[in-house]
Structure 1
Amino acid sequence: MRSRVEKDEEEEEEKEKEEEEEEEKEEEEEEEKEEEKEEEKEEEEEEEKEEEKEEEKEEEKEDQEEGKSY
């Protein structure tokens, strides 16, 4: 039979291991959230660029139509 001290040490090691794994898991989740934020930000910027392009096209079209009407 193992001594009480050995059992306690094993339990303590097991606890520490579980805590470390939990911390790693939390860190990974945080990183994933950060990456998602970055991706969303990039997508929004892309959409804004597209909208600006569309607006410029519309303005050019309007300018051309105004030019024709004179």
Structure 2
Amino acid sequence: MSKIVATLIAGLFATSVYAQTTATPATTTPATKAAVKADKKAAKAEAKEEKADVKADAKLEKKAAEASSDVAVAKADAAKKKAKAHKKATKAKVDAAADKAEAHADQKADAAK
């Protein structure tokens, strides 16, 4: 039953749309041409404004990308410095162990005399 009612209502709306006719103007007047010109100018202004908005968005995205790349470079530099410091610390430990072993060997040699 509800399908039948829905079909009848849809048909009613469809026929009401086709029953209405729009009046077409016979000729365009200079006032209409001026309105069209004004609409054209407004459309150009909107396009120009949208273009400026897009440019600003692109600049922001570019800055964000640069900032993220700067962060990546900073992280890489930090990792490089950390590795270098670790290498120096390891070398210092090895040198200290060698010095300690040498001192221990000298002490043994002195004790043996």
TM-score by length of 1: 0.85
State, as a whole percentage, how many aligned pairs show the same letter: 13
Shift of 1:24: 0.9
Q: Deviations over 1:1-57 (max 9, x none)?
A: 881111111111111110011011111111111111111111111111111110011
2:50 paired with 1:7:
yes
Q: CA–CA distance in 1 between the matches of 2:103 and 2:59?
A: 66
Which of residues 37, 41, 51 in structure 1 aligns to 2:94?
A: 51
- Could you say which structure has the larger radius of gyration? 2
* Count of residue pairs the alignment pairs up: 70
Write the mapping of 1:1-70 to structure 2, written as runs, cut at 5 A.
3-70=46-113
- How large is the Cα RMSD of the aligned pairs? 1.7
Show structure 2 runs of 5+ residues with no match.
Answer: 1-42
Deviation beyond 6 Å, 4+ runs, structure 1:
none
Q: Greater helix share, 1 or 2? A: 1
- Structure 1, gaps ≥5 residues long: none
